[in-house]
């Protein structure tokens, strides 16, 4: 007699590591600034990007990468114990461990902990709805703005990612920010940057933060040079020319382009230096102390001061 096989999620409850990070490292610059996040991932990914910077995790087929067992309630309790504001599903894509991510998010919510998805946004319609009804925030990695780039470099497709961004903007209350990793001669042409920034401005609005981050050679793209600062500045200026309010440069030491400014009075609102906050000119509910303009994002009470620490932890029962 033939029995139909059951599909089992082999990464359930098993993680490739736990760390406490600043929320700015996700990167999220407008989600409870200065707070800390319990970050973890599992193994595997549904894209195979040649430039992956977590390839030892995302391309792992070895169960020993999944070094720690963690049930959802245990994770949530650990976040409370370590004074984290949020839990972040990161390193590989939470799409890969959807059921586990949702269970963790529900356990976290019960204890007042927020949930963050760090994702490539490459997901089908039904699981997209299922995942994001449990998320408070997301950083979506928009890897480029041509189908050719997604096909050649990521072995995926652009349109599902755009669909995710449109879904988040139009159908949810999830706070989200976008990251675009600029790879020299691959996705950094002025034409592509203009098309992307125009699409964001017209379809998502001017208040979605956009992070241009510097590439460094990794995985299968060791022949590429790291992204020059001038390229990041060019991209930022293009984005600003379309009226985007919050455009940042990351993976580089460049404090000016890492800071948040008031779109109305241009006052420096949040000073950042490698995840460390400096000047902070926002009220407890996120208003500019100079002119009262409400900064887009999520704010509650005084800023956090977690700084640029990275604390590996081991979960205890």
Structural domain includes residue 316: no
Please, what is the end-to-end C-alpha distance for the chain in angstroms?
42
pLDDT digits 0-9 by tens, 259-279: 999 999 999 999 999 899 999
**35-44, 115-124, 220-229, 308-317: segment of lowest average pLDDT:** 220-229
Question: Which tokens go with 36?
Answer: 């800390």
The residue count of the chain comes to 317
pTM of the predicted model, to two decimals? 0.88
On whether residue 5 sits in a domain, the answer given is: no
DSSP per position, 204-248: T-TTS-EEEEE----TT-TTSPPPPHHHHHHHHHHHHHTT-S-EE
Classify residue 35: in a domain, yes or no: yes
- On whether residue 6 sits in a domain, the answer given is no
Highest mean pLDDT among 94-98, 100-104, 263-267: 263-267
Please report whether residue 9 resides in a domain: no
How far is the C-alpha of 212 from the C-alpha of 251, rounded, in Å?
9
Q: CA 85, CA 175: separation in Å to the nearest integer?
A: 15
Buried (b) or exposed (e) across 18-34, using 16+ Cβ within 10 A?
bbbbbbbbbbbbbbbbb
pLDDT at position 12: 44
In this predicted structure, the answer to whether residue 258 has a pLDDT above a threshold of 60 is yes
Residue 166 pLDDT > 80:
yes
Q: In what order do the strands lie in the sheet with 36-40?
A: 247-250, 210-214, 175-182, 137-141, 114-119, 86-89, 36-40, 18-22, 311-312
Instruction: Please indicate, yes or no, if residue 7 is contained in any of the structural domains.
Output: no
Residue 212: strand pairing partners = 180, 249
Please report the pLDDT score of residue 256 as a whole number. 93
Q: Are strands 68-69 and 36-40 parallel, antiparallel or unpaired?
A: unpaired
Which DSSP category does 29 fall into?
A: S
**CA distances in angstroms from 278 to 147, 156, 204, 211, 257, listed in the order given:** 40, 39, 29, 19, 14
| Structural domain includes residue 313 | no
Residue 17 pLDDT: 67
Digit-coded pLDDT (tens) for 284-314:
999 999 999 999 999 999 999 999 999 988 7
Q: How many domains, in total, are found in the chain?
A: 1
| Long-range pairs of 277-283 with CB within 8 A, sequence gap ≥ 24 | 277/24, 277/33, 277/34, 277/303, 277/304, 277/305, 277/307, 280/33, 280/34, 282/33
Angstrom CA distances, 75 to 72, 119, 127, 279, 309, stand at: 5, 20, 23, 33, 20
Helices (H), the chain: 55-58, 72-81, 98-110, 125-132, 147-149, 159-171, 190-203, 229-241
**What is the pLDDT of the chain when averaged over all its residues?**
86
Range of the domain at 118: 14-306
Statement: residue 50 has pLDDT above 70:
no
**In this predicted structure, what is the pLDDT of residue 49?**
58
Does 315 reside within a domain?
no
CATH number (domain holding residue 113): 3.20.20.70
> Would you state the structure tokens that stand for residue 243, as one six-digit string?
């009226």
Whole-angstrom distance, CA of residue 255 vs CA of residue 247: 13
């Amino acid at each position: 007699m033939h029995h139909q096989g059951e599909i089992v999620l082999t990464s359930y409850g098993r993680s490739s590591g736990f760390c406490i990070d600043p929320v700015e490292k996700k990167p999220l610059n407008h989600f409870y600034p200065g707070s800390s996040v319990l970050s973890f991932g599992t193994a595997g990914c549904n894209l195979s990007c040649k430039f992956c910077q977590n390839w030892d995790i995302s391309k792992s087929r070895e169960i020993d990468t999944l070094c720690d067992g963690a049930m959802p309630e245990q994770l949530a309790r650990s976040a409370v114990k370590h004074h984290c504001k949020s839990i972040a599903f990161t390193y590989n894509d939470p799409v890969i461990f959807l059921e586990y991510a949702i269970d963790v998010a529900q356990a976290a919510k019960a204890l007042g902990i927020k949930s963050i998805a760090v994702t490539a946004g490459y997901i089908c319609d039904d699981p997209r709805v299922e995942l994001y009804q449990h998320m408070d925030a997301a950083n979506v990695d928009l890897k480029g703005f041509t189908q050719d780039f997604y096909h050649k470099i990521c072995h995926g497709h652009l349109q599902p990612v755009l669909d995710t961004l449109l879904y988040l903007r139009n159908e949810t209350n999830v706070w989200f920010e976008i990251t675009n990793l600029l790879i020299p001669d691959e996705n950094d042409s002025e034409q592509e940057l203009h098309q992307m920034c125009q699409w964001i401005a017209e379809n998502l609005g001017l208040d979605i933060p956009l992070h241009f981050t510097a590439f460094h050679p990794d995985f299968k793209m060791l022949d590429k040079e790291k992204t020059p600062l001038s390229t990041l500045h060019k991209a930022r200026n293009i984005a600003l020319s379309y009226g985007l309010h919050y455009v940042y440069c990351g993976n580089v030491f460049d404090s000016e382009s890492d800071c948040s400014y008031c779109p109305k009075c241009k006052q420096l609102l949040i000073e950042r230096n490698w995840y460390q906050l400096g000047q902070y000119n926002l009220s407890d509910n996120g208003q500019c102390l100079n002119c009262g303009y409400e900064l887009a994002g999520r704010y509650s009470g005084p800023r956090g001061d977690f700084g640029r620490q990275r604390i590996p932890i081991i979960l205890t029962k």
